[in-house]
């Protein structure tokens, strides 16, 4: 087997010109693109990774004073980056804020003496001219002379960035080639953040965000807003999984690790077990929690056979007692974290469209009545939906209060309710939940249940169509396909994010 570095070195040695289009070209070839000389990143020192590594994301691990004679001396971050390139003499570095497209060119300087002192994380011994450049808010760098190895094309680069430039995340590009417009080409990149803000999310399909692309999930919206507020990179762990309950169920539960897709999971990790998956709980700044809907059971909530007394008893057991146990476990593992619990919403209301509701019922394997009997049961369905929304919120609030009383010296846990109205329920005129539509190209491909004319409207339908057919994913294909219906859509996710951020602002 050929070592990857040897392959990289072979490519660097050949210096092959890359043409503007693929295929064989003759003498009459179009104008060539600029000569490409890639730069490869291999490592750093004097930089720290987040506790949960995120690729090439770091924070400074060493600072030195730019002008020690000042009463309040300015500081700079100093670190080393190891690169592979066949044109070290052409190396350039550009820096830009992660929130803007404005590039700052770093200034290359002659290597100072005392490299061993630099390496020892002590005061960097820099000439006055270099210190002056740093005081003028200039990023500087030099190639460490003894690091160049001709055969391996490996170089070590020292970089110093004034602290005043590191008040927000920065993206660094190391490159030797540019496009015709001057943009960096085939660059090695890394990102620096002044600090990290750690977030974890545990729960069920509501917390996962069924039907929503990553950018539209309320966990993402909250993280993006916090990044803007704190000017720190958010390091997030999402363990929420569709179908998960608080209380473990030995007949269906497994452990879905962080790489598991929560939309159509291979295992329904119990929320109580998701707490154990959180890495570095002692560092968490914020933990988002939900749960109890799957313990109560959708088919119990939306069943005319479930009496109000039975339903409130189940809600008290799971949204109350079980949630207390869950929150005690979270609080014990992460005593310093802010914890936010999200409540649920009215699934159905008197404003829900009857036709869409019929089609949704037809797609659910476990409902205890036929769609043509729906008229008789519509009132109990709406009643139970309202009972679940209101009584679960009450029980969750009591659970939060109970755990806060047990841990008076810890940050108070807060409950958030996005306050969906009857018009925001599933199949209602201003729905904040995914509904059904007939405008789906995929319908003609499915052909499994000719009685269905409406299909889920969310953008992940195509993904679920492919995945739900695999053995071991879900025992019922149609139920799996419709699993996003009744979950917050883009507007609903924004309502949740706004409610969470309002609580955090308090």
192, 210, 226: which is the final residue of a domain? 192
Range of the domain at 77: 39-192
Task: Give the model's pLDDT for residue 265.
Answer: 77
439 secondary structure, DSSP code: -
Assigned domain for 375 exists: yes
Q: Is the Cβ–Cβ distance between 85 and 12 less than 8 Å? A: yes
Does one domain contain both 239 and 94? no
What's the CATH number where 186 sits?
2.60.40
- d(C-alpha 380, C-alpha 366), whole Å: 17
Q: 107, 186 in Cβ contact below 8 A?
A: no
pLDDT for res 422: 95
What are the backbone dihedrals phi and psi of residue 142, each rounded to the nearest 5 degrees, phi first? -150, 155
Same domain for 141 and 233: no
Is 361 found in the same domain as 296?
yes
Same domain, 111 and 222: no
Pair 487, 240: CB distance under 8 Å: no
Judge whether 94 lies within some domain: yes
Q: Report the predicted TM-score, pTM, of the whole model to 2 decimal places.
A: 0.86
Whether 203 and 237 map to the same domain: the answer is: yes
Q: Mark whether 176 and 245 lie in a shared domain.
A: no
pLDDT along the chain (506 residues), means of 10: 42 37 43 74 94 93 84 85 92 84 88 70 82 93 76 86 93 94 92 96 97 97 96 95 90 61 82 95 97 94 90 98 98 98 95 84 65 73 94 98 98 97 95 87 55 82 84 70 94 98 93
Any domain includes 385 = yes
Q: Is residue 210 part of a domain?
A: yes
Out of 161, 192, 223, pick the residue that ends a domain. Answer: 192
| CA-to-CA dists, residue 144 to 114, 119, 192, angstroms | 11, 11, 21
Residue 440 shares a structural domain with residue 362? yes
> Are residues 327 and 207 both part of a single domain?
yes
Shortest CA distance to 263 belongs to which of 478, 491, 477, 464?
A: 464
In this structure, is residue 430 part of a structural domain? yes
Domain final residue, candidates 139, 163, 192? 192
Are 178 and 217 found together in one domain?
no
- 8 A C-beta contact, residue 85 and residue 155: yes
287 and 331, same domain (yes or no): yes
One domain, residues 125 and 159: yes
Residue 10 within a domain: no
Same domain, 324 and 248: yes
- Provide the number of structural domains found in the chain: 2
* pLDDT score, position 331: 98
CATH of the domain at 298: 3.40.50.1110
Residue 186 lies in a domain: yes
Left, alpha or beta for 215 (phi > 0: left; psi -120 to 50: alpha)? alpha
């Amino acid at each position: 087997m050929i070592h990857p570095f040897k392959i990289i070195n072979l490519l660097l040695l050949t210096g092959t010109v890359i043409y503007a289009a693929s295929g064989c070209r003759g003498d009459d070839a179009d104008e060539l693109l600029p000569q490409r000389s890639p730069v490869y990143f291999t490592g750093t020192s004097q930089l720290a990774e987040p506790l949960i590594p995120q690729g090439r994301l770091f924070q400074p691990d060493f600072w030195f004073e730019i002008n020690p004679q000042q009463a309040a001396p300015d500081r700079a971050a100093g670190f080393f980056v190891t690169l592979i390139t066949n044109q070290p003499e052409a190396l350039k570095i550009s820096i830009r804020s992660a929130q803007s497209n404005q590039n700052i060119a770093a200034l290359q300087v002659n290597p100072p003496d005392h490299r061993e002192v630099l390496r020892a994380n002590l005061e960097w011994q820099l000439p006055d001219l270099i210190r002056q450049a740093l005081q003028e808010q200039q990023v500087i760098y030099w190639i460490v002379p003894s690091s160049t190895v001709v055969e391996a094309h490996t170089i070590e680069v020292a970089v110093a960035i004034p602290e005043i430039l590191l008040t927000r995340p920065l993206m660094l590009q190391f490159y030797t080639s540019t496009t015709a417009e001057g943009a960096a080409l085939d660059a090695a990149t890394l990102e620096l953040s002044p600090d990290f803000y750690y977030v974890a999310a545990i729960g069920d399909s509501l917390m996962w965000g069924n039907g929503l692309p990553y950018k539209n999930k309320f966990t993402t919206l909250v993280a993006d807003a916090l990044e803007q507020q704190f000017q720190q990179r958010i390091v997030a762990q999402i363990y929420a999984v569709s179908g998960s309950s608080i209380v473990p169920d030995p007949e269906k539960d497994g452990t879905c690790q962080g790489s598991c897709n929560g939309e159509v999971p291979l295992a329904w990790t119990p929320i109580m077990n998701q707490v154990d998956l959180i890495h570095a709980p002692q560092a968490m700044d914020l933990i988002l929690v939900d749960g109890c809907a799957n313990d109560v059971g959708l088919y119990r909530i939306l069943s005319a056979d479930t009496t109000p007394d039975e339903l409130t008893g189940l809600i008290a057991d799971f949204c109350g007692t079980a949630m207390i146990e869950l929150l005690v476990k979270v609080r014990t593992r992460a005593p310093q974290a802010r914890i936010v619990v999200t409540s649920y919403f009215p699934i159905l209301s008197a404003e829900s469209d009857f036709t869409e509701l019929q089609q949704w019922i037809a797609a659910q394997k476990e409902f205890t009545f036929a769609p043509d009997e729906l008229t008789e049961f519509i009132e109990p369905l709406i009643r139970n939906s309202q009972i679940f929304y209101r009584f679960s919120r009450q029980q969750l609030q009591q659970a939060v209060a109970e755990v806060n009383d047990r841990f008076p010296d810890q940050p108070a846990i807060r409950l958030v309710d996005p306050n969906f109205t009857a018009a925001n329920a599933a199949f209602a005129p201003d729905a904040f939940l995914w509904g059904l539509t007939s405008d789906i190209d995929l319908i003609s491909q499915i052909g499994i249940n000719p009685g269905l004319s409406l299909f889920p409207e969310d953008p992940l339908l195509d993904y679920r169509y492919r995945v739900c057919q695999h053995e071991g994913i879900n025992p019922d294909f149609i139920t799996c396909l419709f699993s996003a219906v009744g979950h917050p859509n883009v507007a609903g996710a924004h309502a949740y994010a706004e409610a969470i951020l309002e609580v955090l602002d308090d």
